[in-house]
Amino acid sequence: MSGPETVVRKANLADVPQLKQCIDRAYARLKIRLPDLPDVSGGLEQEIDKRTVLIAEVSGGIAGCAVLGIDGPGAHLVNIAVDPGFKGQGIGRSLMQAAETHARHAGATEIALATHVGIPENVALYQHLGWSETSRNSHKVFMKKKL
């Protein structure tokens, strides 16, 4: 038996309150572990206006999101977050695929991201999904993937 369908779509301003709640829930456990983690849910109205914000909906609720910036042949995955209540259901993979597809259709040939050095499980996950580490500093690991 399969669960509810995941629908990935572009966010709009009406999604902001639920989107902020989703992101805050996704990062809650990391903020305890990493006090230098920046605010990841602030400025969502501007993100929706300036970038592509994709949301994954399950049964009408926001289960996750991806924020994507595109500048010519380069794209940047600014943020990806999955509500912990939906962990293990393929939400992150669906969002990642949608972000890569959107970037490709917009003419990007590669996509980059930065993750916190204190979240090695993210680095391992991105490497599993075909990303390569390009550099790191004391706080961030920078990665890229050819599209």
> Residues 90-118: what's their mean pLDDT?
95
* pTM of the complete model: 0.91
The domain limits of the chain are 6-146
- Tokens for 63? 């289960």
Which residues are registered as beta bridge partners of 70?
75
**Considering the chain, what is the average pLDDT of its residues?**
93
What separation in angstroms does the CA of 108 have from each of 55, 99, 102? 20, 11, 9
Write the pLDDT tens digit of every residue in 29-81.
888 888 777 888 999 999 999 999 999 999 989 999 999 999 989 999 999 99
Which residues lie below 8 Å from residue 4, measured CB to CB, with a gap of 6+? Answer: 58, 59
Q: Which CATH class is domain 6-146?
A: alpha beta
H/E element, 60: none
At 1 the pLDDT is: 42
Which residues lie below 8 Å from residue 59, measured CB to CB, with a gap of 6+? Answer: 4
Exposed / middle / buried, residue 105 (Cβ in 10 Å: 0-12, 13-18, 19+): exposed
Contact 8, 95 (CB under 8 A): yes
Rounded to 5 degrees, what angle do the CA atoms 101, 49, 98 make? 15
For residue 114, the tally of other CB atoms under 10 A from its CB is 17
> Residues 103-127: what's their mean pLDDT?
94
- Tokens for 32? 């305890």
Contact 81, 119 (CB under 8 A): no
Which residues are registered as beta bridge partners of 68?
52, 77
